Chain A
Amino acid sequence: MKRVQFGHSPVPYLFVAPQILIILIFFLWPAGQAVYQSFLLEDAFGLSSQFVWFRNFEDVLSSDSWAKSAVFTIVFSFIVAFLSIAISLFLAVRADEIIRGAKSYKTLLMWGYAIAPPVAGLLGSMLFNPLMGDLYILLNSMGFEFNHIQNGNDAAFVVILIAVWKQISVNFIFFLSGLQGIPKSVTEAATLDCKSAERRFWTITFPLLAPTTFFLMVINLTYAFFETFGIIDVSTKGSPGGTTATLVYKVYVDGFLGADMGSSAAQSVILMFMVSILTIFQFRFIERKVHY
């Protein structure tokens, strides 16, 4: 921390109080509640409940629908993270080389950050609307027999496409600033040593961007896990038959629409556990970077 700090004073307590208060009421209490509920089994009318230890967890972990959703979430997250990182890295490298019009391209590629995931979902579902969606019509006229309403893979394709589209701008911003952070002299030295631009990229630029890429990988996985809720809720709603429901979406469906509180809470707790690991991973990494 700081070499010099203020000593005894009521100020820190006063300053940290609002944050702690909000955390206590709106974070610790609900989180505790989730853990508590995950051990309870409610009857069909929600009138009484009994303590069942880990039964909810056992039920969740052994249920087919959860396993299906877990597999989908993981596959979906990695595909989304990989694709959006790859596309934005490609664009950022080109944008970094541009001299004329660099600012315009930057603006054109970064503004998407401001679009809400559900809005992205709507735009996507509009393009895939069977009545008039351009992409739907295009894919079918090319003979793909595309039908995301009934075909799970096609539905997953739609969700992935939208999720990748939405995330490109964030990755682009980070990659471009990462590229611009590479000293000119290094790039110049590399051009003297290596003729092929592609080789230069893989041997010099990409390794130098590794911290950014790694960081973005974590960010993108977190995004695919959580923030795609909005996309899914307005595009496929997890259909057909739950094939495109991520774990977070399933918590919502089971808890709010299905009113199975115990199971939903158990799912929440499992998710908390998973995401904690991801965040600790990310945090340790960020902290280490700060000390450079």
Chain B
Amino acid sequence: MYQSKLRIITNHLILILGSAFMIAPVWIALASSTHTREYLFQNGLQMWFGGHFLENYGAILFDPAATKGRVTALEMLFNSMVLGLGFAIGKVVISMMAAYAIVYFRFKLAVPLFWVIFATLLLPLEVRIVPSYEVVSSLGLLNTYTGLILPLIASATGTFFFRQFYRSVPDELLEAARLDGAGPLRFFVDILVPLSVTMIAAIFIIMFVVGWNQYLWPLLMTTDDQLYTIVIGIKQVYNSLYEGGQIPQFPKAFALTIMATIPPVLVVVIFQRMFIKGLVETEK
């Protein structure tokens, strides 16, 4: 299609500005994380790298004192990984199965169960956060991975994604499989799961990022440092920035922020196509 030179140039200009707007805060944090705290204190935030990259990142990764607690950033990263993976795997497995039951079977409780599942979409964890905390606490699950992950899985978004997808699978495939002698389990394992591979991958990626980025729930239910995820850890570090009358440890706080950002960003950028496909097609 014909485009004027001017239009092409302004398009690029606008997109470059937009990209800069998105990147600038993270860039500044990254650059500033490689300076000493004294330098930052005197000269303000930095746009370019200093010489203390290894020092600052080494400290937060391996020295618990740098993260103001008893856990290092490395341990926090591990916890975040457990949360991200556990959340994604749990969500995918559970919702695949539930959606299969709802779409492919005629059974007595199908309708009431569907509505129970649907109801979870109405109420995000945020609005029932206080009683959820009490329930998990009375089950003795505070400060456990189980207590961290399961309540987050209780929302049925994944089930609806898969339901949508299954409904788009041609009916004839099930019919052909039945004529080929496949029962409910075999159809699921041999046909439906392999067919869903891209869908599973896309939802997995989205859920991993969502899980990794969880904030409110981990904040409430991990009172023990040992279970801090990196997102929670950052808050902890920022909260204690001004303690003790010393020069605030901004570089290390920025380093931690960058560490928290890299894994989900990498996942999203590397699996970009799959991720966008999953996001756009499932939400529609």
User: Closest Cβ of chain A: how far from B192's Cβ, in Å?
Assistant: 11
Q: Closest B residue to A280 by CB, please name it.
A: B122
Query: Is A183 in contact with chain B by the CB < 8 A criterion?
Result: no
In the complex, the answer to whether B264 meets A2 with C-beta atoms within 8 Å is: no
Collect the chain B residues with CB atoms within 8 Å of residue A219's CB. 283
Q: Closest A residue to B123 by CB, please name it.
A: A272
Q: Closest A residue to B185 by CB, please name it.
A: A11
Q: Which of A61-69, A75-83, A116-124, A139-147 contacts B (4 or more CB under 8 A)?
A: A116-124
Q: Closest B residue to A211 by CB, please name it.
A: B284
Collect the chain B residues with CB atoms within 8 Å of residue A26's CB. 132, 135-136, 150-151, 153-154
User: Closest Cβ of chain A: how far from B89's Cβ, in Å?
Assistant: 12
In the complex, the answer to whether B105 meets A5 with C-beta atoms within 8 Å is: yes
Collect the chain B residues with CB atoms within 8 Å of residue A112's CB. 22
The CA of A94 and the CA of B45, in the complex, are separated in Å by 32
- Given A18-B94, A137-B44; A31-B131 close (CB under 8 Å): yes
In the complex, the answer to whether A97 meets B7 with C-beta atoms within 8 Å is: yes
Q: B30-65: which residues lie under 8 A (CB-CB) from chain A?
A: 40-41, 44-45
Interface residue from B12, B100, B150 paired with A15 (Cβ < 8 Å) = B100
In the complex, the answer to whether B257 meets A123 with C-beta atoms within 8 Å is: yes
User: Closest Cβ of chain A: how far from B39's Cβ, in Å?
Assistant: 11
- Given A2-B174, A127-B25, A177-B276; A114-B209 close (CB under 8 Å): yes
Contact with A along B87-105 (1 / 0, CB 8 A): 0000001110110111111
User: Closest Cβ of chain B: how far from A57's Cβ, in Å?
Assistant: 15
User: Closest Cβ of chain A: how far from B270's Cβ, in Å?
Assistant: 10
Q: Which of A48-56, A148-156, A201-209, A263-271 contacts B (4 or more CB under 8 A)?
A: A263-271
Collect the chain A residues with CB atoms within 8 Å of residue B195's CB. none
From A34, A114, A123, A279, residue with most partner B Cβ within 10 Å: A114
Query: Is A210 in contact with chain B by the CB < 8 A criterion?
Result: no
The CA of A133 and the CA of B178, in the complex, are separated in Å by 66
In the complex, the answer to whether A229 meets B216 with C-beta atoms within 8 Å is: yes
- Given A15-B101, A276-B122; A251-B171 close (CB under 8 Å): no
Contact with A along B108-123 (1 / 0, CB 8 A): 0110010011111111
In the complex, the answer to whether A12 meets B269 with C-beta atoms within 8 Å is: no
Collect the chain B residues with CB atoms within 8 Å of residue A7's CB. 106
Q: Closest A residue to B118 by CB, please name it.
A: A283
Collect the chain A residues with CB atoms within 8 Å of residue B22's CB. 108-109, 111-112, 165, 168-169
Collect the chain A residues with CB atoms within 8 Å of residue B1's CB. 187-188, 191
Q: Closest A residue to B110 by CB, please name it.
A: A12
Mark A residues whose CB is within 8 Å of B. 1-9, 11-13, 15-16, 18-20, 22-23, 25-31, 33-34, 37, 87, 90-91, 94-95, 97-98, 101, 105-120, 122-127, 131-134, 137, 165, 168-170, 173-174, 177, 187-188, 191, 197, 215, 219, 222, 226, 229-230, 233-234, 248, 251-252, 255-256, 261, 264-265, 268, 271-272, 275-276, 279-280, 283, 286, 289-290
- 21 A-B contacts, Cβ less than 8 Å apart? A1-B167, A6-B105, A6-B106, A9-B183, A13-B101, A20-B116, A22-B153, A23-B116, A107-B272, A114-B269, A116-B212, A118-B231, A119-B231, A119-B261, A122-B234, A127-B25, A132-B250, A134-B28, A174-B283, A229-B126, A280-B122
With A20-B116, A22-B153, A119-B231 given, can you name 20 additional A-B contacts, CB distance below 8 Å?
A5-B105, A6-B184, A9-B105, A12-B100, A12-B107, A19-B97, A25-B139, A30-B128, A37-B130, A37-B131, A94-B14, A107-B272, A108-B22, A110-B268, A114-B213, A118-B235, A226-B126, A234-B234, A251-B130, A286-B283
